[in-house]
């Protein structure tokens, strides 16, 4: 069983790259950020302030978040509803950052993440995979890029989906989330001591994909 931990800030390209690499290798891909987005989205739908710890904890008792894998592709379920598209809206991003700072939410999702990794060859991405969720992962990679590069990627992605956003707004939100993720008390975003740094600022999608594939294949071949 091979587990790969891929961490890094928002907009670094983790999800897109990880999904493609996992598909090529036949691994299960787990986007842990999507799970937090689902919890945050559920709170928004119920009118709960995502900074209201007591409100969020109470909501968890009635929250059913799960993953379905269809042809190796991850779909995020909230109850019986596929929310894979809705969780990518900008408001779900900040909601995810808020709820992920709550220990009860992290514990709520922790067991699910660990169970998937124990049962599958998997590539799991997030912000604390190598440091907290899978500290014994076979390979740890910390993927990043400059804030401007990451904001441009997120902006282009949202525009392609028809969202009416301004680049300055996307950059501002990204910087705010970076600060919040790196300064939270519980499982802050940081590079694991034994993680390989991969800066994608000046790399194409294919170049990043190839680098990650080489790292994984070298590890698999021991």
Cα–Cα distance for residue pair 15/163, rounded to 1 Å: 20
In the predicted model, is pLDDT for residue 5 greater than 90? yes
pLDDT (tens digit per residue) in 173-194: 999 989 988 998 888 999 999 9
Rounded Cα–Cα distance for residues 155 and 166 (Å) = 8
Closest to 78 (Cα-Cα) out of 47, 129, 127, 44: 44
Global pTM value: 0.81
pLDDT number for residue 195: 98
pLDDT value at residue 136 = 96
Q: Maximum distance among all alpha carbons in the chain? A: 50
Would the pLDDT of 10 be above 80?
A: yes
> Per residue in 141-156, pLDDT tens?
999 999 999 999 999 9
Going by pLDDT thresholds of 50, 70 and 90, the confidence category of residue 163 is: confident
Burial track 87-124 (b if 16+ CB lie within 10 A, e otherwise): bbeeebbbbbbbbbbbeebbebbbeebeebbeebbbbb
Ranges 27-31, 70-74, 108-112, 133-137: which has the least confidence: 70-74
> What pLDDT, on the 0 to 100 scale, is given for residue 135?
96
Query: What is the C-alpha to C-alpha distance for residues 103 and 114, in angstroms, rounded to an integer?
Result: 16
- The residue written with tokens 């999507």 in the block is 34
- Supply the Cα-derived Rg of the chain in whole angstroms: 16
Segment 84-91 mean pLDDT: 90
Size (the chain), residues: 222
Encode pLDDT of 27-79 as tens digits: 989 989 899 999 999 999 999 999 999 999 999 999 999 888 877 678 999 99
Residue 1, pLDDT above cutoff 90: no
Q: Where are the alpha helices (DSSP H) in 120-193?
A: 147-160, 167-183
Give the span between the Cα atoms of 59 and 35, in whole angstroms.
Answer: 15
Q: Map residue 66 onto helix, strand or coil.
A: strand
Q: Which long-range contacts (CB under 8 A, 24 or more apart) does 79-87 make?
A: 83/38, 83/41, 84/34, 86/41, 87/34, 87/37, 87/38, 87/40, 87/41
The angle, 0 to 180 degrees and rounded to 10, between the axes of the packed helices 14-25 and 205-220 is 50
- Strand, helix or coil at 85? coil
How many other C-beta atoms can be found within 10 angstroms of the C-beta atom of residue 57?
A: 14
What distances in angstroms separate CA 65 from CA 55, 57, 75, 94, 177, one per listed residue?
17, 14, 11, 18, 23
> What pLDDT does 72 receive?
67
């Amino acid at each position: 069983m091979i587990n790969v931990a891929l961490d890094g800030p928002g907009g670094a390209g983790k999800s897109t790259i990880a999904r493609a690499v996992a598909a090529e290798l036949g691994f299960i891909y787990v986007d842990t950020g999507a799970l937090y987005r689902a919890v945050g989205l559920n709170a928004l739908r119920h009118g709960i302030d995502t900074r209201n710890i007591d409100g969020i904890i109470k909501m968890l008792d009635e929250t059913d978040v799960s993953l379905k894998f269809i042809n190796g592709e991850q779909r995020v379920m909230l109850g019986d509803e596929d929310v894979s598209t809705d969780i990518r809206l900008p408001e779900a991003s900040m909601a995810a950052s808020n709820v992920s700072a709550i220990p009860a939410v992290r514990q709520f999702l922790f067991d699910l993440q660990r169970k998937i990794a124990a049962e599958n060859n998997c590539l799991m991405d997030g912000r604390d995979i190598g440091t907290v969720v899978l500290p014994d992962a076979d390979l740890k990679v910390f993927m990043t890029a400059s804030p401007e590069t990451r904001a441009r990627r997120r902006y282009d992605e949202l525009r392609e989906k028809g969202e009416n956003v301004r680049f300055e707004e996307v950059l501002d939100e990204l910087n705010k989330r970076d600060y919040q993720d790196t300064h939270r008390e519980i499982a802050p975003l940081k590079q694991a001591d034994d993680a390989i740094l991969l800066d994608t600022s000046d790399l194409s999608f294919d170049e990043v994909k190839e680098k990650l594939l080489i790292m994984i294949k070298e590890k698999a071949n021991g």
